[in-house]
């Protein structure tokens, strides 16, 4: 019987110990496999996020934060300078305004609820009617309940991309977009506001004492986005008496390589009058939690590998100590050190391979749940610590490509699927072999130091 076959048989000399060691190694190998898969899945998501954000720069008036912020609107003349910059392939401009009961016959499709009432400055918000009643039984909150949400109207300079109308996934329920280059009294509306006001393609509504025709109805997937009204930019500038004014813009750069430089040039061109954010900044914010997951996965992988090596090391040290007499006898009858070391390495590798087989199954089952848990925790932590930047308020000042890209990128972080492919298994096998080699190195050294006479005498 050669040394390798003896090593294989020796791995099962103590079944209880073998099962215990294999299970412990399986947990270690399973974690290694899961973390390898997690890193690969998260890295793919990072590239996906960066690709979905794209090469755009978002521009808004300094100090703007939805309709709650201040600041002064930008102008067509200022943005014309941006359009003239090198590597800028186009600038999409947007103007937002609010319609009230005095400027339109439209009603918002969103019920104000407690949050809307509170933000409107109403009192008694969220208080049950019984708590608003006066001593004579009248209700002091009656007047407050007449508040209705304002309707937001947006003028856009480019309606060729359906995502302009409020989301990353927009479908047309009827009609189509208008020609944004023309000054026409036409509009597209979301399904929410269309349903509330019984609007269909061909219907008209009044805004700024002007009749506006509905040419399209869209569905953007959320109540807020589906409560929007969009018209050509020139139309809104004229009707709202905001000639030449812009409340947000998105500049498209010809290459990601030029994004940083163009962003700096735009900041220099517009100075303190604008807040400028590149999609690269947004991408960095979005991938930060994913980068954290990669780091956690790497540290977990290293920890699992070290733990596996230590387990094998301690196990083989214990086995060598138990078999000192056997090793001494083998040396006494002429067995070489290399032969004895091969026997113990074969035993070590056998235990590791058994652990790899069981651990591979555990890793496959645990890869996706562990990855999603890490992503969810990291994303939640990042969201709780982060703050909205300029123009990220709820009123929709940023309706350009950057906001759409941000939404798409966030959606891409959901349900990360970590798959264990051939390459992952290969890396896991390599890790197992390295662990077995490292764990056997020290015991092998002790084997070489054992002298037959001393081993027999100690026994």
pLDDT (0 to 100) of residue 119:
57
Where are the domains positioned within the chain?
3-51+287-458, 94-109+149-246, 111-147
Tens of pLDDT, residues 382-403: 555 444 433 333 334 344 444 4
pLDDT surpasses 90 at 63: no
pLDDT band at 452 (very low <50, low <70, confident <90, very high): low
Q: What angle do CA 33, 35, 36 make, to 5 degrees?
A: 65
Tens of pLDDT, residues 86-111: 999 999 999 999 898 889 999 988 87
Interaxial angle between packed helices 337-385 and 324-332, expressed in degrees from 0 to 180 and rounded to the nearest 10: 140
pLDDT (0 to 100) of residue 218:
92
Nearest-angstrom CA–CA distance, 401 and 57 = 9
Contact 83, 408 (CB under 8 A): no
Average pLDDT rounded to a whole number, residues 177-187: 93
pLDDT (0 to 100) of residue 94:
92
Contact 155, 233 (CB under 8 A): yes
Nearest-angstrom CA–CA distance, 346 and 341 = 8
Alpha helices in 208-336 (DSSP H): 233-239, 259-270, 279-322, 324-332
Nearest-angstrom CA–CA distance, 336 and 93 = 82
Contact 32, 305 (CB under 8 A): yes
- Stated as kind and residue range, the H or E segment containing 446 is helix 422-449
pLDDT (0 to 100) of residue 411:
47
Tens of pLDDT, residues 368-386: 787 777 777 665 555 554 4
Nearest-angstrom CA–CA distance, 95 and 93 = 7
Nearest-angstrom CA–CA distance, 349 and 444 = 13
Encoding tokens for residue 433? 């072999």
pLDDT band at 122 (very low <50, low <70, confident <90, very high): low
Nearest-angstrom CA–CA distance, 415 and 18 = 38
Tens of pLDDT, residues 304-332: 888 877 887 787 778 777 777 777 777 77
pLDDT surpasses 50 at 239: yes
Residue 352 — φ and ψ, nearest 5°?
-70, -40
pLDDT band at 192 (very low <50, low <70, confident <90, very high): very high
Q: Which residues neighbour 176 within 8 Å (Cβ) at sequence distance 6 or greater?
A: 215, 216
Quick one: residue 212, left, alpha or beta (phi over 0 = left, psi -120 to 50 = alpha)?
beta
Nearest-angstrom CA–CA distance, 130 and 119 = 22
CA distances from 395 to 69, 152, 194 (A): 11, 8, 19
Which of 348, 339, 311, 347 shows the shortest CA–CA distance to 436? 348
Contact 405, 282 (CB under 8 A): yes
CB atoms within 10 A of CB 56: 25
Lowest-confidence range among 86-100, 224-238, 286-300?
286-300
Most confident region among 8-12, 127-131, 396-400, 433-437 by mean pLDDT: 8-12
| pLDDT, the chain, mean | 77
pTM of structure = 0.54
% pLDDT > 70, the chain: 74
pLDDT band at 133 (very low <50, low <70, confident <90, very high): very low
Nearest-angstrom CA–CA distance, 192 and 183 = 26
């Amino acid at each position: 019987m050669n040394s390798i076959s003896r090593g294989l048989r020796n791995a099962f000399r103590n079944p209880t110990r073998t099962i215990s060691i294999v299970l412990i190694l399986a947990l270690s190998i399973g974690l290694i496999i899961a973390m390898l898969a997690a890193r690969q899945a998260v890295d793919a998501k990072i590239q996906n996020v960066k690709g979905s954000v794209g090469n755009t720069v978002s521009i808004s008036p300094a100090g703007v934060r939805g309709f709650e912020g201040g600041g002064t609107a930008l102008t067509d003349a200022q943005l014309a300078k941006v359009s003239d910059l090198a590597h800028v392939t186009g600038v999409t401009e947007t103007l937002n305004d609010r319609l009230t009961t005095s400027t339109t016959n439209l009603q918002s499709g969103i019920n104000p609820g407690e949050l809307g009432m509170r933000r409107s400055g109403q009192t008694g918000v969220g208080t049950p009617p019984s708590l608003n009643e006066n001593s004579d039984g009248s209700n002091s909150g009656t007047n407050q309940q007449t508040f209705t949400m304002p309707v937001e109207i947006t003028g856009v300079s480019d309606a060729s991309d359906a995502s302009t109308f409020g989301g990353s996934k927009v479908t047309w329920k009827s009609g189509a977009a208008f020609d944004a280059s023309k000054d026409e009294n036409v509009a597209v509306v979301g399904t929410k506001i269309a349903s509330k006001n019984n609007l269909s393609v061909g219907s008209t509504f009044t805004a700024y004492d002007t009749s506006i025709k509905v040419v399209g109805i869209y569905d953007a997937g959320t109540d807020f986005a589906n409560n929007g009204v969009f018209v050509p930019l020139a139309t809104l500038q004229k009707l709202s008496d905001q000639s030449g004014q812009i409340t947000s813009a998105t500049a498209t750069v010809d290459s990601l390589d030029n994004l940083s430089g163009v962003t700096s040039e735009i900041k220099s061109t517009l100075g303190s009058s604008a807040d400028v954010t590149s999609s690269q900044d947004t991408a960095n914010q979005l991938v930060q939690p994913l980068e954290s997951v990669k780091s956690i996965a790497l540290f977990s992988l290293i920890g699992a590998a070290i733990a596996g090596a230590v387990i094998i090391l301690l196990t083989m040290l214990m086995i060598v100590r138990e078999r000192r007499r056997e090793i001494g006898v083998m040396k006494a009858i002429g067995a070489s050190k290399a032969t004895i070391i091969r026997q113990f390495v074969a035993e070590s590798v056998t235990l590791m391979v058994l652990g790899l087989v069981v651990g591979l199954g555990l890793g496959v089952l645990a890869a996706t749940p562990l990855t999603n848990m890490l992503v969810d925790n990291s994303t939640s932590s990042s969201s709780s610590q982060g703050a909205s930047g300029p123009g990220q308020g709820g009123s929709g000042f940023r309706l350009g490509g950057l906001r759409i890209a941000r939404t798409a990128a966030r959606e891409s972080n959901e349900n990360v699927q970590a798959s264990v492919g051939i390459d992952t298994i290969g890396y896991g096998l390599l890790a197992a072999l390295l662990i077995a080699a490292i764990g056997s190195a020290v015991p092998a050294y002790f084997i070489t130091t054992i002298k037959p006479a001393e081993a027999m005498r100690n026994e």
